Structure 1
Amino acid sequence: MSINEIIVSIDNFVWGISLIILSLGSGLLFSITLKFPQIRLFKEMVRCSFKNKKGDAGLTPFQALSIAIGGRVGTGNITGTASAILFGGPGAVFWLCVMAIICSMSAYIESALAQVWKEKYNGEYAGGPSFYMNKGLKFKPAGVFYALLSVIFLIIFAGVQTNAFSSVAVASFNISPFIVAVIYTILLVLVIFGGAKAIANVADKVVPFMSISYVAVAILLILINITKIPAMFSLIIRSALSMDAVFGGIVGASISWGVRRGVFSNEAGLGTGAWVAGCADVSHPAKAGLSQAFSIFISLLICIATSLMILITDSYNVVGANGNYIVQNIVGDYDVFTTKSIDSVVSGFGSVFISLAMFLFTFTTIMAYSIYLNNINYFFFGGHTNKKNIKLISILINIAITILAFFGPLVKSSTIWSMASAMCGIISLINLISLILLYKPGIATLKDYERQLKMGIDPVFIPEECGIKDAELWNKIIEEDYSEELANYKKIFNKKFM
Structure 2
Amino acid sequence: MLWTYVLIALLIIAGLYFTIRTNFVQIRMFPEMFRVITEKRKNDTGVSAFQAFTISAAARVGTGNITGVALAITVGGLVLSFGCGPLQRSGWRPGLSRVHLASCIKKRTEIRYRGGPAYYIHKALGLRWLSILFVVLIVLCFGMIFNALQVNTITDSFQTAFDTNRLMLALILAALTALIIFGGVKRIVKVTQLIVPFMAVAYIAVALYIIVTNIEQIPGVISLIFSEAFGLSQAIGGGFGAAIMEGARRGLFSNEAGMGSVPNAAAAANVSHPAKQGLFQSLGVFFDTMIICSSTAFIILLSTGYMDVEGEGATITQFAMSQHIGEWASAFVAIAILFFAYSSVLGNYYFGETNIEFLKNGARWLPIYRVAFLIMGILGGIATVELVWTMADLFMALMAIVNITVILLLTKKAVTLLQDYTKQRKAGKDPVFYASQYPEIKNTECWGDNEDER
* TM norm. shorter chain > 0.5: yes
Write the mapping of 1:69-468 to structure 2, written as runs, cut at 5 A. Answer: 69-154=57-142, 155-242=144-231, 249-300=238-289, 301-317=291-307, 328=308, 330-381=309-360, 390=363, 393-466=365-438, 468=440
- Report SS of the residue matched to 2:164: coil
- The separation in 2 between residues aligned to 1:343 and 1:412, in whole angstroms, is 25
For the 8 Å contact 2:314–2:333, the answer to whether it is kept is no
Cα drift, residue 102 of structure 1? 3.2
- Is the CA contact (8 Å cut-off) linking 2:76 and 2:239 kept in structure 1? yes
The C-alpha deviation readout for 1:172-199, integer Å capped at 9, x for no partner, is 2222211221222122222222111111
| 1:495 paired residue number | none
CA distance in structure 2 between the partners assigned to 1:168 and 1:249 by the alignment: 32
Q: Is contact 1:120-1:126 (8 Å) kept? A: yes
Amino acid at match of 1:76: G
Q: Which residue of 2 aligns with 1:41?
A: 29
Letter in 1 for 2:187: A
2:314 partner letter: D
Letter in 1 for 2:390: S
The aligned amino acid for 2:15 is G
AA partner of residue 157 (structure 1)? F
Q: Alpha carbon RMSD of aligned pairs, Å?
A: 2.0
Could you tell me how far 1:252 is from its partner in structure 2? 0.3
Q: Offset at 1:354?
A: 0.8
Higher mean C-alpha displacement, 49-58 vs 164-173 = 49-58
Compute the TM-score of the two structures, normalised by the length of structure 1: 0.86
Paired residue type of 1:39? I
Match of 1:62 in 2: 50
Q: 1:213: how far off?
A: 0.8
Instruction: Assess, with a 3 A threshold, how the Cα gap between structure 1 residues 248 and 45 changes in structure 2: closer, same or farther.
Output: farther
In structure 2, the partner of 1:496 is none
CA separation of 1:87/1:22 partners in 2, compared to 1, >3 Å: closer, same or farther? same
Equivalent residues of 1:242, 1:248 under 8 A apart: no
Distance 2:355 2:40 in 1: 25
Change (3 A) 1:198 1:127: same
What is the one-letter code of the residue matched to 2:49? P
State the alpha-carbon separation in 2 of the partners of residues 238 and 457 from structure 1.
Answer: 48
Q: Distance in 2 between matches of 1:364 and 1:338?
A: 19
1:153/1:424 contact within 8 Å kept? yes
Q: Return closer, same or farther for 1:62/1:244 CA change in 2, 3 Å cut-off.
A: farther
Give the equivalent residue in structure 2 for 1:474.
446
Larger radius of gyration: 1
CA distance in 1, matches of 2:447, 2:35: 25
1:321: which partner in 2? none
Equivalent position SS for 1:380 = coil
Closer/same/farther in 2, CA of residues 475 and 187 from structure 1, 3 Å limit = closer
Please report how far the alpha carbon of residue 436 of structure 1 lies from its aligned counterpart in structure 2 after TM superposition.
0.8
**Amino acid corresponding to residue 480 of structure 1 in structure 2:** E
CA separation of 1:206 and 1:247: change in aligned 2, threshold 3 A: farther
State the alpha-carbon separation in 2 of the partners of residues 266 and 315 from structure 1: 28
In the TM superposition, residue 52 of structure 1 has moved relative to its aligned partner by: 3.1
Matched to 1:411, the amino acid is A
Structure 1, 273-282 or 182-191: larger mean CA deviation: 182-191
Shift of 1:245: 5.9
Residues 114 and 128 in structure 1, CA contact (< 8 A), matched pair in contact too: yes
Judged with a 3 Å threshold, the aligned counterparts in structure 2 of structure 1 residues 245 and 357 are, in CA distance, closer, same or farther, namely same
* Per-residue Cα deviation, 1:16-62 (whole angstroms, up to 9, x for no partner): x1210101211221112212222211111112234233642211000
Task: Please state how far the C-alpha of 1:287 moved relative to its aligned partner.
Answer: 0.7
Aligned equivalents of 1:481 and 1:238: distance in 2? 59
Return the alpha-carbon distance in structure 2 between the equivalents of residues 21 and 288 of structure 1.
Answer: 27
Shift of 1:289: 0.8
Distance, in Å, in 1 between the alignment partners of 2:366 and 2:50 is 24
Equivalent-residue separation in structure 1 for 2:444 and 2:105 (angstroms): 9
158-167 or 93-102, which deviates more: 93-102
Which segments of 5 or more consecutive residues in structure 2 lack a partner in the other structure? none
With over 3 angstroms needed to count, the CA separation of the structure-2 counterparts of 1:159 and 1:151, relative to structure 1, is: same
**Does the aligned pair in 1 maintain the 2:135–2:356 contact within 8 Å?**
no
Answer yes or no: is the 8 Å Cα contact 1:441–1:466 preserved in 2.
no
**Partner amino acid, structure 2, of 1:282:** V
CA contact (8 A) 2:87 2:247 kept: yes
Alpha carbons of 1:446 and 1:241: their partners in 2 closer, same or farther (altered >3 Å)?
farther
Q: 1:334 to 1:201 in 2, by over 3 A?
A: closer
Deviation at 1:377, TM superposition (A): 2.0
Q: CA deviation at 1:84?
A: 1.3
Q: Secondary structure at the match of 2:108?
A: strand
**Distance in 1 of aligned mates of 2:284 and 2:305:** 28
Residue 51 (str. 1) matches residue 39 (str. 2): yes
Report the alpha carbon displacement of residue 480 of structure 1 after superposing the two structures with TM. Answer: 1.0
* Bigger mean CA deviation after superposition, 261-270 or 87-96: 87-96
Q: Structure 1's 94 and 202: CA in aligned 2 closer, same or farther, altered over 3 A?
A: same
Q: Distance in 1 between matches of 2:86 and 2:421?
A: 26
What secondary structure is seen at the aligned counterpart in 1 of 2:429? coil
Q: Distance between the aligned counterparts of 1:341 and 1:219, measured in 2?
A: 15
CA shift for structure 1 position 307: 0.7
Residues 224 and 248 of structure 1: CA distance in aligned 2, closer, same or farther (over 3 Å): farther
Q: CA deviation at 1:243?
A: 5.4
Distance in 2, matches of 1:355 and 1:109, equals: 36
